[in-house]
């Protein structure tokens, strides 16, 4: 694959017959033809074969360096990642969904049980319920971030034909959660500061506030696309690089094209997820929130709790969370496909690196 990395004929023979060579005969660490597969390369650590494999370079369509694919090729590339690693995506999604559904039944169900609803007011909400909802929100965000990073790790491995299993990806997701949370906080600070400045200026200048609001909206929309690429930039780049800088480089000069591709991917994923969720939701028979609005014969509206038993509530939460993550997987692969095209140097770096390198 790389001329300077290919072993000589004698070295390759030594690899294939590990019983005969001495230590000095063994080739240096690198990617070599996999003796067990004609379409793969396997990592040789200098002494023995590892479990790490990757596909050989193919003649499949690849865009020029830094160029985005056409929309049709983009969708095919993104959904191709899901096809390559569907089992890893599925296992990570199931594990995360079960965990979050368990958290929901432990923290959200008691809150809803304690409330009495009417059109005019909600009674029964106190400090205990507030603490439970805060705990749920914190735990939900931590788990969701970890699962997102695991999904991005799987997506990137699919993009570069690297062998990374669900367990390794999940471990990576857990370990990288603090980094992503920290960088996202840094990334949203400009939005918070910009909004604060807008409020101050709008109050001071009156009629110009609308124009300033439009300008701020445009800036926030541009920055939101940049922030979208922070997680995949963390996956691609080793520790020590600035993912915000990398994300800006991805978006620079391509904002509208990237926005259009992500919009198309979101619409497709949303339609599929909503259709499947509706079907599965009917089968489960209970929504995650279990709140219904009933109009009686006099036209009065009555709020009724319909949580079902514990199993029904758990299954309802499981369906809702699982399908949300399924839709996110498509979006994650869409983001990864764009990053793969826009950062060809990073793709080459990842392909040439030692698979045992520390990325967390």
135-174 pLDDT, tens digit each: 999 999 999 999 999 999 999 999 988 888 899 999 999 9
The pLDDT confidence band at residue 8, using thresholds 50, 70 and 90, is very low
Same domain, 33 and 138: no
Does 156 lie in the same domain as 29?
no
pLDDT over 90 at 220, yes or no: no
Q: How confident is the model at residue 277 (pLDDT cuts 50, 70, 90)?
A: low
The answer to whether residue 64 sits within a structural domain is: no
Structural domain contains residue 117: yes
Task: Classify residue 357: in a domain, yes or no.
Answer: no
Whether residues 120 and 207 share a domain: the answer is: yes
Mean pLDDT of 58-74: 70
When pLDDT is averaged across residues 335-354 and rounded to a whole number, the result is: 69
Domain endpoint, select from 40, 59, 78: 59
Count up the domains in the chain and report the number: 2
Q: Is 233 among the domain residues?
A: yes
Whole-angstrom CA distances from 307 to 118, 150, 287, 304 are: 16, 32, 7, 9
Q: Has residue 358 been placed in a domain? A: no
Question: By mean pLDDT, which of 122-126, 158-162, 319-323 is the weakest?
Answer: 122-126
Q: Are residues 116 and 27 in the same domain?
A: no
Q: Give the pLDDT mean for 51-80.
A: 74
Q: Is residue 163 part of a domain?
A: yes
The mean pLDDT of the chain is: 77
Same domain flag for 205 and 325: yes
For 288-297, what is each residue's pLDDT tens digit? 455 666 666 6
146 and 48 fall within a common domain: no
Same domain, 166 and 29: no
Q: Does 27 share its domain with 120? A: no
**Could you say which of 12, 40, 59 is where a domain stops?**
59
Same domain, 225 and 333: yes
Same domain, 263 and 156: yes
Residue 249's domain comprises: 70-352
pTM of the model: 0.72
Same domain, 24 and 137: no
260 in a structural domain: yes
| Domain-located, residue 119 | yes
User: What confidence score (pLDDT) does residue 293 get?
Assistant: 60
**Domain match, 239 and 297 both:** yes
């Amino acid at each position: 694959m790389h001329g300077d990395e290919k072993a000589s004929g004698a070295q390759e023979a030594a690899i294939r017959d590990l019983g005969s060579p001495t230590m000095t005969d063994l080739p240096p660490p690198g990617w070599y033809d996999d003796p067990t597969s004609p379409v793969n390369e396997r990592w040789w650590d200098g002494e023995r074969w590892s479990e790490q494999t990757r596909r050989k370079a193919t003649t499949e369509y690849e865009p020029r360096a830094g160029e985005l694919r056409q929309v049709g090729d983009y969708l095919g590339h993104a959904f191709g990642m899901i096809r390559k690693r569907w089992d890893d995506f599925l296992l990570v999604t199931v594990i995360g969904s079960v965990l979050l559904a368990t958290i929901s039944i432990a923290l959200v169900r008691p809150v809803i049980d304690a409330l009495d609803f009417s059109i005019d007011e909600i009674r029964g909400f106190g400090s205990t319920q507030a603490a439970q909802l805060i705990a749920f929100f914190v735990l939900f965000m931590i788990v969701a971030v970890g699962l997102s990073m695991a999904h991005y790790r799987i997506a990137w491995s699919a993009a570069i034909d690297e062998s990374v299993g669900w367990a390794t990806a999940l471990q990576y997701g857990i370990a990288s959660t603090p980094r992503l949370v920290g960088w996202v906080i840094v990334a949203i600070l400009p939005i918070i500061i910009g909004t604060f400045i807008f409020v101050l200026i709008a109050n001071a200048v009156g009629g110009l506030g609308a124009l300033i609001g439009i300008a701020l909206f445009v800036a926030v929309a541009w920055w939101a696309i940049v922030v979208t690429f922070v997680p995949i930039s963390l996956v691609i780049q080793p520790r020590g690089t600035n993912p915000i800088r990398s994300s800006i480089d991805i978006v620079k000069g391509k904002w509208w094209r990237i926005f259009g591709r992500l919009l198309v991917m979101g619409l497709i994923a949303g339609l599929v997820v909503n259709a499947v969720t509706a079907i599965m939701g009917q089968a489960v028979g209970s929504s995650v929130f279990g709140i219904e609005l009933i109009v009686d014969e006099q036209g009065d509206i009555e709020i009724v709790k319909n949580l079902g038993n514990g199993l029904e509530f758990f299954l309802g939460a499981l369906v809702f969370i699982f399908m949300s993550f399924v839709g996110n997987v498509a979006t994650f692969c869409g983001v990864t496909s764009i990053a793969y095209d826009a950062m060809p140097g990073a793709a080459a770096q990842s392909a040439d690196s030692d698979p045992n390198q520390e990325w967390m």
